[in-house]
């Protein structure tokens, strides 16, 4: 019989565990917001095409939080603040940092009132008190509306009425949106259960708190692919095989209890695998697991080669399951995702019309089928985050997904199946005698280990775990519930997300909160043991308490010539430096581009303030804005803006007034390929020695990403009388 090409979509759903053990308020609202925008939406779209089957991977720590939201056992700080009628300055600062975290070009700017609030963001970042309580009420409400499935905004009478109202929202309006979100948290899980019972989807699991299993087994396993990688010193090496086994076992138990049946498949967190984790997978009764094509290539010692259309030139090797060996005996099956096709959905197709994107993907799948022929059954896995890319698509991905599923349903050469559905009907033909160690990002583990912050984090976790074991062995009459809570704090701290954000390749506006949460979990262990919290738990992981930025105050006056050379000339020595790490969101690809804004240098002499902005992208495709707020004791602060649009050769100086931004004039500017240098006359700024200037820059590139440097707020620079450099 002629076989179609079997295609296995695996949509991975995951968010970090945002609360400390025993707490009922999450620091961040992303579980609830993704439930309202993505988790329910993804299964509702698929339900319209019953012949199209797919796999959804639900991480237990996410499922637990969804269940608790739906049952009223969990809130988040945004929910709590939404119920207030007035806010402190600290609370307003939090709201400003959180409530603008919406895709601006695709979502927020479609709504006039939200667009107005976006125009006030720069002023609010500098001084959150500039927004009124009415502004904050509207901001909170629009933030929650914008994080709602647009189909609900259009079809739910209560929500559509609020969208039409647009402004001057009441507390009742805000809570109406949040109550819809809580309802959707419960509906999402119920919909998944129903679709699996009907046979359209398969639900799979991940280790409970999403740890990188090979690194739990032993940090040193990262050296297999990355020899010479800096690791924690030998006394603080992390090696906890029992924890790796426990995370898998707890996941299967939770899945079975709350989703109605034993899971058959496992997506190891970040596709991270090693030979040592396979006994845990087999002992838990899991039939299959998955990772990336790079892991298969290294396991077979073959290259991943693509042709001019970026299609795999060896499809027969990559598009089939492999039987793994556990103690030389047949173990679970394993599949390996097509990296290119997965990344096309995650990163590329958002830039073209959804119908065109769906046509491109289906055409590529047909080409693969034609090359393989129809005499054997092959399986092409497409595995990616199922929640993070849709904000960049038209209508939350509906146009693409509807067109894709419709084409698959009508195409007899392609069949979308669940992974277990394929394995049940097509015996695994090949055996993989050796499994390489690595993940779906570059095939290695360096996203979660190797940077200085990683070393401090892993060392702190190793010390905390060792202290817990010593206390457990020495203490008597330990209350079982307290001991379980302490170990839960350890398991939460082992999650991949904390180490992801400590990586110098990743960043978010909430990095400081992630660091705080990671250390708070370890602090819980010492509180339970009635021991003083160690200084190395109290101290932020990054030196100086900064996770992303290396700040310097100016050390000397400078008078650089504006040349915008690729390298900063010695004339810039003495300037303050605000430096970014490479930035990405919660999704990362091996070749993902860094933040467009990398370094700001700020210096001055007696006549001008000098700014040098060093970019990772071409200045021809990057808009730049620098906010400068000057202040002095006893004087009203003044905010200035230096603006330079993409491809422009001149920067414009603006002053913020009660009526908005007022154009003041231009400033001498030099523009290079990736450098912009500007000299702003001190006279224009009214800047004199003894004052303080607060500096923060925004950049947007051709992908319309908005990046702030520093992301945590303006950097204060003391405008002091300094000598010229020696």
Strand-strand pairing, 669-671 and 715-718: unpaired
- To which H or E segment does residue 624 belong? strand 623-631
- Which runs of consecutive H residues, i.e. helices, occur in 655-723? 682-685
Helix (H) or strand (E) run with residue 538 in it = helix 535-538
- For tokens 């000057």, what's the residue? 630
pLDDT along the chain (726 residues), means of 10: 95 93 90 98 98 98 98 97 95 93 90 94 89 98 98 98 98 98 98 98 98 98 95 90 98 97 98 98 98 98 96 98 95 98 95 96 98 97 97 97 98 98 97 97 95 94 97 92 96 96 77 87 96 93 46 80 84 82 44 67 91 85 83 68 74 79 86 91 84 83 62 74 64
What is the Cα–Cα distance from 298 to 592, expressed in whole angstroms?
22
DSSP codes, 366-433: HHHHHHH-SSS-EEEEEEEESSSSGGGSGGGGHHHHHHHHHHHHH-TTEEE--HHHHHHHS---EEES
Q: What is the layout of strands, in order, in the sheet containing 265-266?
A: 265-266, 288-292, 329-337, 322-326, 430-432
Alpha helical stretches, state H, 56-170: 60-71, 77-82, 89-99, 112-119, 121-126, 133-146, 150-155, 157-165
Q: Could you tell me which residues come within 8 angstroms of residue 725 by beta carbon, excluding any fewer than 6 positions away?
A: 556, 557, 558, 573, 574
H/E stretch holding 315: helix 315-318
**Total Cβ atoms within 10 A of residue 383:** 28
| Element at 289 (helix H, strand E) | strand 288-292
Beta strand pairing call for 75-76 and 25-26:
parallel
- Dihedral angle computed from the Cα positions of residues 269, 272, 273 and 278, in that order, rounded to the nearest 10 degrees: 0
Residue 716, SS3?
strand
Whole-angstrom distance, CA of residue 426 vs CA of residue 576: 63
Helices 398-410 and 40-47: angle between axes, nearest 10 degrees = 30
Nearest to 138 by CA among 170, 175, 181, 101: 170
Q: Which of 578, 513, 500 is nearest to 98 (CA)?
A: 513
Report whether 55 contacts 265 (CB < 8 A): yes
Distance CA(447)–CA(170), nearest Å, equals 44
Give the predicted TM-score (pTM) of the model.
0.80
For 85, residues 6+ apart whose C-beta sits below 8 A from its C-beta are 133, 171
CB of 255 closer than 8 Å to CB of 60: yes
Long-range Cβ pairs for the range 192-198 (8 Å, 24+): 192/43, 192/56, 192/58, 192/259, 193/259, 193/260, 195/43, 195/46, 195/47, 196/259, 196/260, 196/261, 197/260, 198/50
User: pLDDT value at position 570?
Assistant: 80
Q: Give the bridge partners for 384, in sequence order.
A: 11
Q: What is the DSSP letter of 509?
A: T
Helix (H) or strand (E) holding 663: strand 660-667
To which H or E segment does residue 500 belong? helix 496-502
Torsion sign (Cα): 205, 211, 214, 218: negative
> Three-state SS for 546?
coil
CA distance 726 to 722: 11
| DSSP string for residues in 677-695 | EEEEEHHHHT--TT-EEEE
């Amino acid at each position: 019989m002629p076989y179609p090409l079997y295609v296995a979509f695996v949509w991975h759903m995951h968010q970090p565990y945002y609360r400390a053990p025993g707490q009922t308020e999450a620091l961040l609202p992303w579980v609830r917001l993704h439930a309202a925008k993505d988790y329910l939406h993804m299964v509702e779209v698929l339900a319209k095409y019953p012949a199209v089957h797919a796999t959804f991977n639900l991480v237990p720590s996410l499922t637990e939080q969804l269940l608790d939201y739906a049952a009223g056992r969990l809130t988040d700080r945004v929910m709590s603040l939404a119920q207030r009628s007035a806010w402190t300055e600290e609370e307003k600062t939090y709201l400003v940092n959180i409530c603008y975290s919406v895709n601006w070009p695709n979502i927020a700017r479609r709504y006039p009132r939200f667009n107005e609030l976006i125009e006030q963001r720069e002023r609010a970042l500098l001084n959150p008190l500039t927004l009124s309580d009415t502004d904050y009420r509207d901001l909170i409400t629009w933030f929650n509306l914008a994080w709602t499935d647009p189909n609900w905004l259009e079809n739910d009478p209560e929500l559509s009425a609020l969208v039409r109202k647009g402004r001057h929202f009441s507390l009742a309006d805000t809570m109406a949106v949040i109550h819809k979100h809580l309802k959707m948290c419960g509906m999402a899980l119920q919909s998944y259960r129903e679709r699996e019972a009907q046979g359209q989807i398969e639900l799979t699991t991940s280790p409970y708190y999403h740890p990188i299993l090979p690194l739990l087994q032993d940090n040193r396993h990262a050296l297999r692919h990355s020899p010479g990688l800096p690791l924690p010193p030998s006394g603080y090496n992390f090696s906890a095989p029992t924890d790796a086994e426990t995370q898998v076992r707890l996941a299967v138990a939770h899945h079975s209890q709350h989703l109605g049946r034993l899971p058959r498949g496992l997506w190891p967190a970040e596709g991270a695998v090693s030979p040592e984790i396979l006994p845990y997978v087999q002992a838990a009764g899991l039939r299959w697991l998955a990772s990336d094509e790079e892991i298969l290539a290294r396991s077979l010692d073959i290259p991943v080669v693509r042709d001019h259309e970026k299609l795999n030139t060896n499809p027969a090797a990559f598009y089939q399951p492999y039987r793994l060996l556990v103690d030389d005996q047949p173990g679970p099956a394993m599949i390996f995702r097509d990296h290119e096709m997965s990344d096309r959905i995650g990163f590329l197709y958002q830039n073209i019309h959804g119908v065109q994107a769906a046509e491109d993907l289906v055409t590529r799948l047909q080409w693969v089928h034609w090359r393989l022929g129809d005499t054997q059954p092959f399986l092409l896995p497409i595995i990616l985050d199922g929640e993070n890319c849709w904000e960049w698509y038209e209508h939350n991905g509906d146009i693409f997904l509807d067109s894709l599923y419709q084409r698959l349903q009508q195409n007899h050469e392609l069949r979308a199946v669940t992974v277990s559905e394929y394995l049940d009907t097509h015996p695994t033909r090949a055996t993989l005698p050796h499994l390489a160690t690595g993940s779906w990002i570059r095939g290695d583990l360096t996203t979660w280990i190797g940077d200085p912050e990683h070393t401090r984090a892993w060392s702190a976790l190793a010390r905390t775990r060792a202290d817990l074991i010593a206390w457990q062995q020495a203490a008597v009459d330990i209350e079982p519930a307290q001991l379980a809570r302490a170990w839960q704090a350890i398991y939460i701290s082992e999650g991949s997300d904390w180490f992801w954000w400590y990586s110098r390749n990743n960043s978010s506006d909430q990095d400081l909160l992630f660091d705080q949460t990671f250390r708070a979990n370890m602090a819980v262990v010492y509180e339970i043991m009635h021991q003083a919290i160690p200084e190395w738990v109290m101290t932020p992981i990054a030196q100086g308490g900064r996770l992303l930025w290396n700040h310097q105050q100016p050390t000397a006056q400078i008078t650089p010539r504006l040349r915008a050379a690729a390298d900063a000339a010695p004339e810039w020595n003495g300037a303050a430096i605000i430096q970014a790490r490479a930035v990405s969101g919660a999704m990362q690809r091996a070749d993902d581009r860094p933040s467009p804004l990398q370094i700001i240098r700020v210096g001055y002499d007696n006549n001008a303030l000098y700014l040098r902005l060093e970019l990772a992208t071409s200045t021809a495709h990057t808009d730049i804005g620098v906010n400068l707020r000057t202040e002095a004791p006893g004087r009203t602060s003044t905010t200035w803006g230096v603006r330079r649009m993409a491809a422009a050769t001149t920067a414009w100086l603006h002053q913020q007034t009660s009526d908005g931004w007022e154009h003041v004039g231009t400033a001498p500017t030099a523009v290079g390929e990736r450098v912009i240098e500007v000299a702003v006359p001190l006279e224009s700024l009214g800047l004199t020695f003894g004052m303080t200037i607060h500096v923060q820059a925004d950049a947007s590139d051709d992908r319309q990403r908005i990046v702030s440097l520093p992301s945590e707020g303006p950097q204060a620079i003391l405008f002091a009388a300094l000598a010229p450099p020696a």
